[in-house]
Structure 1
Amino acid sequence: MEQNGEKVIEVKNVKKVYRMGRERILAVDDVSFEIYKGEFCCLLGTSGSGKSTLLNLMAGIEKLSTGQIIIKGKNIHKMSEKGLAKFRQRYLGFVFQSYNLINSMTALENVELPLVFKKVRPRSREKMAREMLTSVGLGKRMRHRPKEMSGGQQQRVGIARAFVAKPEIVFADEPTGNLDTRTTKEVMNIIKDIAKKNNQTIVMVTHDRSLAQYADKIIHILDGKIQEVEVVDREEICEVNAAEAAQQPEVKAVTVEEAISKLNQEQENIKEQVEIL
């Protein structure tokens, strides 16, 4: 992805220090990077690397120790709690590993929730929630409650809730951590397709390198520090895939008559082998 567009997130010399008694733990250590509009950015690292802490800092959930985090031109750590809450409602969406659905509500009601806080009228928000659930493949599950759905279905509800208000930025913290391989691919494709359609920015935390391949930019984190920023060249990937496809054996098209003739010949061969036995 070309990096000549709008910067939506700027992280500047950010540090996060936790104090446990006399011990000082440096969870995020002087980190700086930029994320552009429409970019899918992955924070990749092992457990304890500081990636989730960094995501929480970017979302304003935790307070940084030093540095700056600027989102949409606003220094979020200089905002009041009320101002930050309004900012999140307007610009941010969240997808969580544990789904964070309200069990007493249906899928439709869970997805409507962000629109309630945005004071969207009941008829409009129900229509928007229905369309969003249909787009993630849950058109027939709208009246089901979380306990009546599989993990993959619950995460689809979580994705629908995160995207229903069309936030400019969506933060996803290990969004497929509780899912099997097949469902993981389905969920990742849904996230990527919706974001691409609406030119939304995704910031995803994961420890799984295979999931990082969905991203345009991969920020490798270890011990609270950035080890490498890897920008994925989608055009190069397409060229590699095309080259690999060109090396595959040519598949010759046959007519129906040729196929029937071949089948009859195989049956004759089998008959001869049976007679020999």
Structure 2
Amino acid sequence: MIQAKNIHKYFDGLHVLKGVDLHIDKGSVVSIVGASGAGKTTLLQILGTLDKGSSKDPYELIINGENVHLMKERALARFRNEHIGFIFQFHQLLPEFTALENVCIPAFIKKTKKEEAEKRAKELLSFLGLQNRYDHKPNELSGGEQQRVAVARALINNPGLIFADEPSGNLDSESAENLHNLFFKLRDEFGQTFVIVTHNEELADMADRKLTMVDGNIIS
């Protein structure tokens, strides 16, 4: 699913990623752990095509057989929209839109018909136990409910790959546990691949693989 070779990244002369090599199998749940500043989020953003590695250090990033590093911006944006979903610590829902409308946004970007997008969004929200929350705006939802709406949004285009950055970091312990179990249920139901940056050791240890980053490198 993912093959990354020799990924370097610099910020103002600081060498953040130091030649990371990584292979992730399809249908696996992989956690990435490490101290703050180890490079976890930077690596996740590059793997998710939201950022690029160092141009002065040749690297390779292949996702689902596609060399995304060589894609032009428009093609890359289309690939990202169709094949990758994102879940963040802060759900980043648009406050003026309902849960249903927030979930539909990636589908509308893909130019999915409104009727089809809304049908899929309702299926996902119902699957996540939010069948009575379609018309509620984010400020009318609990933190756990908001995060489940964000999960539905990440899934709306049926991506094969989900990146999550501290997805339970803003949740209480019960909501966090429910979200963690949900990831594995989704993997089992839909065969998706999850790459999760987390400080939550319980979630990290549940994963099929646990990768530890130290000072810009994966050490285990």
Q: Normalized against structure 1, the TM-score is what?
A: 0.76
Offset from partner CA, 1:212-261 (integer Å, 9 cap, x none): 02211111101111110xxxxxxxxxxxxxxxxxxxxxxxxxxxxxxxxx
Q: Is the 8 A contact 1:14 1:30 kept in 2?
A: yes
Aligned residue number for residue 6 of structure 2: 13
Shift of 1:164: 2.0
Q: For the pair shown, which has the larger CA radius of gyration, 1 or 2?
A: 1
Aligned residue number for residue 88 of structure 1: 80
2:126 and 2:212 map into 1 onto residues whose CA distance is 35
Q: Is the 8 A contact 2:83 2:157 kept in 1?
A: no
Aligned residues: 217
Offset from partner CA, 1:103-148 (integer Å, 9 cap, x none): 1100001111111112221111111111100111111111100011
1:192 and 1:15 map into 2 onto residues whose CA distance is 31
1:45 and 1:208 map into 2 onto residues whose CA distance is 10
Question: What code does the residue aligned with 1:185 have?
Answer: E
Aligned residue number for residue 167 of structure 2: 175
Question: What code does the residue aligned with 2:53 have?
Answer: L
Q: Is the 8 A contact 1:159 1:191 kept in 2?
A: no
1:108 and 1:173 map into 2 onto residues whose CA distance is 23
1:141 and 1:195 map into 2 onto residues whose CA distance is 24
1:192 and 1:46 map into 2 onto residues whose CA distance is 25
Aligned residue number for residue 41 of structure 1: 30
Question: What code does the residue aligned with 1:224 have?
Answer: G
Aligned residue runs from structure 1 range 214-253, under 5 A: 214-228=206-220
2:35 and 2:199 map into 1 onto residues whose CA distance is 5
Tell me whether 1:120 sits opposite 2:82 in the alignment. Answer: no
Aligned residue number for residue 163 of structure 1: 155
Aligned residue number for residue 40 of structure 2: 51
Aligned residue number for residue 49 of structure 2: 60
SS at match of 1:147: helix
Q: CA RMSD in A?
A: 1.0
Question: What code does the residue aligned with 2:17 have?
Answer: V
Question: What code does the residue aligned with 1:150 have?
Answer: S
Question: What code does the residue aligned with 2:76 have?
Answer: L
Shift of 1:55: 0.3
Aligned residue number for residue 142 of structure 2: 150
1:75 and 1:51 map into 2 onto residues whose CA distance is 22
1:177 and 1:190 map into 2 onto residues whose CA distance is 15
Aligned residue number for residue 131 of structure 1: 123
Relative contact order, higher structure (CA 8 A, sep 6+): 2
Query: Any runs of at least 4 consecutive aligned residues in structure 1 with deviations exceeding 2 A, and if so which?
Result: none
Offset from partner CA, 1:136-185 (integer Å, 9 cap, x none): 11111111000111111100000011112210000101101100111000
Equivalent of residue 14 in structure 2, options 20, 25, 28: 25
Q: Which consecutive residues of structure 2, in runs of 5 or more, have no partner in the other structure?
A: none
Q: Normalized against structure 2, the TM-score is what?
A: 0.96
Aligned residue number for residue 250 of structure 1: none
Equivalent of residue 194 in structure 1, options 179, 186, 191: 186
Report which stretch shifted further, 30-39 or 208-217.
208-217
2:80 and 2:104 map into 1 onto residues whose CA distance is 16
